[in-house]
Amino acid sequence: MSIFRPAAIMRNLFKKPMTLQFPYEALPPVEGYRGRHLLDLEKCTGCPVCSLACPNKAIELVKVGEEEKEGKKVEKKYPQIHLGKCCFCGLCEEYCPRDAIHMTQEAMISIMDKSQAIYSPDKLSQPVG
């Protein structure tokens, strides 16, 4: 079988390459992609289901303040996520009983310093973009 194929060579010379120049062009994002989390502070009640669902123990509930409820002082707790331990499986979003935690399409979350990997509830509730 001959390896000299002039028609194929001319066709391939003028074809567009398969690759994109990354930081300047990127693939369009897809709906339902599992990226960084977004927390809705109105809906979250501090029940620990997301913390129990996480396979890597990346979610921890921290005390944010206190509030009055039926005459008693109750602690207000919200989740804090360690994105270094997170494996982006989406089980916290799936098992949350009040739909308070969602995974957005944000994937460019690289950092240089490991201490910035823990996202407090305030940082999680800021919208992306």
Partner 1 sequence: MDNEIVSILKSKFPESILSSVSEDKRIYLLVKREEFYQILSQLKEMGFDHLSDVTCVDMLAQGEFELIYHLWSHTKKIRGIVKTRIPRESPTIKSIVDLWIGAQIHEREGHELFGIRFEGNPNLMPLFLEDWEEIPPFRKDFDIREYVKREYYGEDKGYFGQG
Partner 2 sequence: MERTRDILAKDELEEREISFTTIPFGPQHPASGHFHASVKCVGEEVVELTPYPGYLHRGFERLMEYRNHAQNTMLCDRICVLDPFSNEMGYVNVVEKASGIEAPQRGKFIRTIMAELGRILSHITWIGIISMALGLDSGTRIAWGDREKIIRLNELATGGRIYPCYFIPGGVRRDFPEGFKEEILKVLDYIENQMKLYDNLVFYNTTFTMRLENVGILRAEDAVALGITGPNLRASGIATDVRKDEPYDAYPYVDFKVVFKGKGDAYSRALCRRGEIIESISIVRQLLEKIPEGDFRVKWGLTKKVPSGEAYFCCEAARGELCFHMVSDGTERPYRVKVRGPSFSHTLAGFPHLAKGVYIADIPAIYWSLDPCPADMDR
Give the interface with partner 1 as residue ranges (CB under 8 A). 84, 114-115, 117-118
Maximum Cα–Cα distance for the chain, whole Å? 89
Closer to partner 1 by CB, 84 or 97: give it: 84
Please report, for the chain, how many H helices and E strands are present, in that order. 4, 5
* C-beta of residue 37 within 8 angstroms of C-beta of residue 102: yes
- Using the rule CB under 8 A, is 128 a contact of partner 2? no
Question: What's the full length of the chain, in residues?
Answer: 129
Alpha helices per DSSP H over 73-119 = 91-95
- Considering only 25, 31, 70, 113, the residue that binds partner 2 (CB under 8 A) is 31
Q: Per-residue x/- mask for partner 2, residues 75 to 94, rule CB under 8 A?
A: ------------xxxxx--x
- Residue ranges that bind partner 2, judged by CB under 8 A: 1, 3, 18-19, 27, 30-34, 49, 52-53, 55, 87-91, 94-95, 103
